[in-house]
Structure 1
Amino acid sequence: MPRFHAVLFDFFGTLTQSVRRGAAHDVIAEQLGCSTEALVDVLDGSYYARASGFFGDAESTMRWVCAQVGVRPSDAAVRAAVASRHRAVRADTRLRPEAVPVLAALRRRGVRTGLVSDCTHELPAFLPQLAVAPLLDTRVFSVRLGRCKPDPALYLAACHRLGRAPADCLYVGDGGSQELTGAERVGLRAVRLAAPDLAGHMVFNADREWDGPVLTSLTGVLDLLDPVAVG
């Protein structure tokens, strides 16, 4: 009998490999009529507002970004930039080779799985196309819930949808958005994924003081399902 009856996963940097903005983002800046540097500055500075859906849908959010950069592109250019951003974020997303095998192994053991992700509008749109999608029993997206980690609402929503108490759930993440300490505050047990590729990972508000259990590979999650304490 596993110690944990459900495992909640972060997405970027956890189920995926390290994320870095690729060259496809240059296309967005070109379509909007601004420099890539100016665009990235606004994106980085507004990450949590955008990831909580504060500015509305993807097109409204892009218009807000344009205003901050100081450009006024046509409606057609804004729509094209939204489509290009979807493609760019998708291109930056590479699942870990072990993600599908680990999720499948959890399912075989009868352990429920969930996704809890700080994200903008792109991830909910393309996640159904990914191989991990049918192996996730629930998905909580910050941009749809209107809150970002470490807000308790995200973790509690996932637990509620899975029908599991927080104490019965393990949370796995790379530590962005203070997600590990946030998970433990609401009663989950948390473990940090510190895979070697994450040294250059794009991350905001990291749990840098985390002194809890650490894994170097996602496959280590399976070892934590034995009836012994994590760490």
Structure 2
Amino acid sequence: MIFDFFGTLTCGSGRGQQHAVVAALLGCAVEALFEVLDRSFHLRATGALGDATDTMRWICEQAGARPSAADLRAAVEARVEAVRADTRLRPEAVTVLRAVRRRGARTALISDCTHELPAFWPQLPVAPLLDARVFSVQVGRCKPDPAIYLAACQRLGVAPGDCLYVGDGGSQELTGAARAGMTPVRLAAADLDGHLVFNRDRGWSGPALASLSEVPGLLDVPRNRPGSEPAGSVPVPGGAGCGV
């Protein structure tokens, strides 16, 4: 089973007050910082601008800021802390991942993210509960590019057809997962209305769940028996070595 991170394993969120610290260190208005961040997400999330320091230097140029070398380094660290502060795991995330693993399924994460998430990932309680992780900034691909889904499958040692994909629909991830051969399910949690998201999968009309807590139950559906699923349920892939 493959999970998205932001908005799926985490609660819906926007940018919090700690981003003002980043703007202050750079010497620009927080609105100018946000404008650059919004229009450069794909560039930053694919690592196209270089490492975290090079990326922050580019952001400065775009925002018209000229911080000292020391303030630039401090801004890189402050940005990690700001994104970390915005990241609130869903209360049920750890329980859900443990339940999925108890059912014998392997787990993976695919996240469209910038340099900050990999920096604090080891500190998160969900980290040891995922058998594989694919961060877009490290592989140079964002969803819905098939390559990022196939990278997760390769790390799990399974075929796409043996995978369920759970995400909130950012980055057209559900459409991308389907095209890659996976079975996608949308998390339509109530707290996602104001969630910061780019390139939303607006046309998605496939299966959806109201809560992350419903995910383990997907594995209790009989597998690969056409017509065996209850009406409205998600057809669960199966087979030897199943990675759902």
TM-score, scaled relative to structure 1: 0.96
1:151 aligns with 2:155: no
Once the two structures are superposed, residues 137-184 of structure 1 have per-residue CA deviations (whole angstroms, 9 ceiling, x without a partner) of 000000000011000111000011101110100000000000000000
Question: How far off its partner does 1:223 sit?
Answer: 1.6
Q: 2:158 matched to which residue of 1?
A: 164
Q: 1:208 aligns with which of 186, 197, 202?
A: 202
Q: Identify the residue that residue 234 of structure 2 maps to in structure 1.
A: 230
* 1:113-152 map, 5 Å: 113-152=107-146
Paired letter, 2:65: V
Distance 1:124 1:70 in 2: 28
Aligned to 1:11: 5
Q: Percent identity?
A: 68
Greater fraction of residues in helix: 1
Structure-1 separation of matches of 2:164 and 2:83: 27
Q: Which has the higher contact order (CA 8 A, sep 6+)?
A: 1
Runs of 5+ consecutive residues of structure 1 not aligned to the other structure? 1-6
Match of 1:129, as an amino acid? Q
TM-score, normalised via structure 2 length:
0.91
Quote how far apart the aligned CAs of 1:118 are: 0.1
Residue in 1 that maps onto 2:239: none
**Structure 2, unpaired ranges of 5+:** 223-228, 236-244
1: CA distance, partners of 2:100 / 2:217: 11
Aligned positions, number = 225
Q: Helix, strand or coil: the match of 1:79?
A: helix
One-letter amino acid of the counterpart of residue 125, structure 1: A
Taking the aligned partners of 1:134 and 1:74, their CA distance within structure 2 comes to 38
Deviation (angstroms), 1:21: 0.5
1:60-84 deviations in whole A, cap 9, x for unaligned?
0000000001111111010010010
Q: Secondary structure at the match of 1:21?
A: coil
